[in-house]
């Protein structure tokens, strides 16, 4: 007899059912993208307003991204403990509150503190959203669904660029740029209240009645044939709470598989390091080349706009060529495009083409990366495994804008700086090739044999997650 988890993963796709969750989850992801992109547009404006050096401008992105790193760890563990739905809703509420306060910040140190706190709220969106959407997605389409979820990212970045460019003429433009996001975030918080809890999560937690209610509703609404199923009895939950739970999750994801976890962390850290370096500093780099605010903002917006096409192509390819091939080819070539940009940045046409090529290739790699890492871990570790990988990358990329502006760019120059960053990507994809399995077509909790590097979780430990 099938389990409830198998019933959910074998349902037909319906836009009115799983599609609704995909859209609401994707809109939260859009806010994450918008907020990170906003750092790059805020940096030159805050530099003028508060008379900041290059390294001080880099702190804008650093404070926000480090806050997101803290949020990714905290909310990943919370989502595995209290459920996807509750964490799914609260993250945006925290972000909206501190964004309002950030728009009113009287001094630069206060602004940095509020950007950090807003990041803590928004940092939980990606791991929670991917866990929830993935657990509602049919296995047959899961790779494409999780990859398509990343289409919201370049949409958010492009929207941020267009809105920020339109606000350049306003007095206190950087304050208006922050305030713009608050009302949509609150509306999305309200919409998220209607999302059901993940039935796979409920099953793993032993909440059988609630799990059956959600599963039966999904079966009825998708028109799938009704068939009997069982909800396996989970072991007793006696795991740690609070901060200890997050630390315990870290121990468990490494115990599950050091090879898989190290590959996930390396991929996340290096690929996102290159992407965030370009996203955060591109307006400032273009202004250094003599472009005005509007031209610099629009060139950066072009990078994200082309990325929308990249996500769509990635969605079409991910289940054809597999996650590993898509990441392994597109990520290094995207890094090479940045090196080319740095070499021809004084040529208007050449620099724009190189920016566009980077935006396209980066969005081939990143959606596949997110889908891949979310599939590498079993259900009890999925949100926290993804959250820790995301948080490690956020810590590294959080300090990257500061190092980029104060050390790497001034000392090494742009071509060598981007070449060094690209070299780290090559190392990461080489390790992925030997350390992590392909997840194309694999069941979420691995009906197939687990990879040799993955240690099965003891039954008692699964209950503590």
pLDDT bucket at 117, cuts 50 / 70 / 90: very high
Can you tell me the mean pLDDT for 163-180?
Answer: 89
pLDDT value for 189: 76
Task: Tell me which of 216 and 207 has the higher pLDDT.
Answer: 216
pLDDT value for 396: 78
> SS3 for 3?
strand
pLDDT tens-digit readout, 49-83: 898 887 788 888 888 888 887 887 777 667 777 77
Q: Where are the domains of the chain?
A: 2-224+241-463
pLDDT tens-digit readout, 310-334: 988 998 898 888 899 999 999 999 9
In this predicted structure, the answer to whether residue 452 has a pLDDT above a threshold of 50 is: no
Mean pLDDT of the chain: 83
pLDDT value for 32: 78
Q: How much is the pTM?
A: 0.75
pLDDT value for 444: 62
Tell me which fold the domain 2-224+241-463 belongs to: Growth Hormone; Chain: A; (1.20.1250)
Residue 2 pairs in a beta bridge with 229
pLDDT tens-digit readout, 274-316: 998 888 888 888 877 777 778 888 888 888 899 899 988 998 8
Produce one character per residue of 234-259: b if its CB has 16 or more CB atoms within 10 Å, e if not.
Answer: beeeebeeeeebbebbbebbbebbeb
Q: Which of 301-315, 338-352, 417-431: highest mean pLDDT?
A: 417-431
Contacts of 192 (CB under 8 A, 6+ apart): 24, 28, 85, 88, 89, 92
The runs of H, that is alpha helices, within 104-172 are: 108-122, 125-136, 142-149, 152-166
Contacts of 99 (CB under 8 A, 6+ apart): 35, 114, 118, 178, 179, 181, 182, 185
Of 362-366, 370-374, 395-399, which gets the smallest average pLDDT? 395-399
């Amino acid at each position: 007899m099938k389990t409830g988890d198998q019933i959910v993963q074998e349902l037909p796709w319906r836009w009115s059912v799983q599609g609704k969750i995909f859209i609401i989850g994707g809109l939260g992801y859009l806010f994450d993208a918008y907020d990170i992109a906003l750092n790059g547009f805020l940096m030159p404006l805050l530099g003028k307003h508060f008379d900041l050096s290059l390294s001080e401008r880099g702190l804008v992105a650093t404070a926000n991204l480090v806050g997101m790193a803290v949020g990714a760890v905290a909310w990943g563990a919370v989502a595995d403990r209290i459920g996807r739905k509750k964490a799914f809703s609260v993250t945006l509420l925290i972000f909206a509150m501190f964004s309002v306060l950030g728009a009113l910040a009287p001094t630069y140190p206060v602004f940095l503190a509020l950007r950090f706190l807003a990041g803590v709220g928004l940092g939980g969106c990606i791991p929670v959203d991917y866990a929830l959407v993935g657990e509602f997605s049919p296995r047959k389409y899961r790779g494409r669904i999780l990859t398509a979820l990343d289409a919201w990212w370049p949409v958010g970045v492009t929207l941020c660029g267009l809105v920020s460019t339109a606000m350049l003429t306003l007095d206190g433009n950087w304050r208006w740029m922050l305030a713009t996001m608050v009302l949509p975030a609150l509306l999305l918080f309200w919409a998220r209240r209607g999302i059901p809890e993940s039935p796979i999560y409920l099953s793993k937690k032993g909440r059988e009645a609630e799990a059956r209610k959600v599963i039966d509703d999904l079966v009825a609404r998708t028109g799938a044939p009704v068939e009997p199923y069982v909800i396996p009895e989970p072991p007793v939950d006696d795991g740690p709470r609070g901060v200890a739970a997050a630390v315990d999750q870290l121990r468990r994801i490494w115990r599950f598989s050091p090879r898989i976890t190290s590959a996930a962390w390396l991929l996340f850290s290096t690929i996102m390091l290159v992407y965030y370096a370009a996203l955060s500093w591109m307006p400032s780099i273009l202004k250094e080349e003599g472009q005005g605010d509007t031209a610099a903002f629009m060139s950066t917006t072009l990078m994200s706009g082309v990325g929308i096409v990249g996500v769509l192509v990635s969605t079409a390819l991910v289940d054809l060529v597999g996650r590993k091939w898509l990441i392994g080819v597109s990520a290094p070539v995207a890094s090479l495009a940045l090196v080319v940009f740095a070499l021809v940045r004084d040529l208007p046409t050449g620099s724009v083409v190189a920016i566009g090529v980077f935006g396209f290739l980066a969005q081939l790699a990143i959606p596949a990366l997110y889908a891949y890492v979310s599939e590498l871990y079993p259900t009890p570790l999925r949100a926290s495994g993804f959250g820790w990988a995301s948080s490690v990358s956020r810590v590294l990329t959080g300090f990257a804008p500061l190092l980029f502006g104060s050390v790497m760019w001034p000392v090494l120059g742009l071509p060598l700086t981007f070449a060094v960053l690209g070299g780290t990507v090559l190392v990461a994809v080489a390790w992925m090739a030997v350390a992590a399995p392909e997840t194309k077509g694999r069941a979420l909790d691995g009906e197939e044999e687990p990879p040799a590097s993955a240690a099965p979780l003891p039954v008692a430990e699964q209950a503590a997650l």
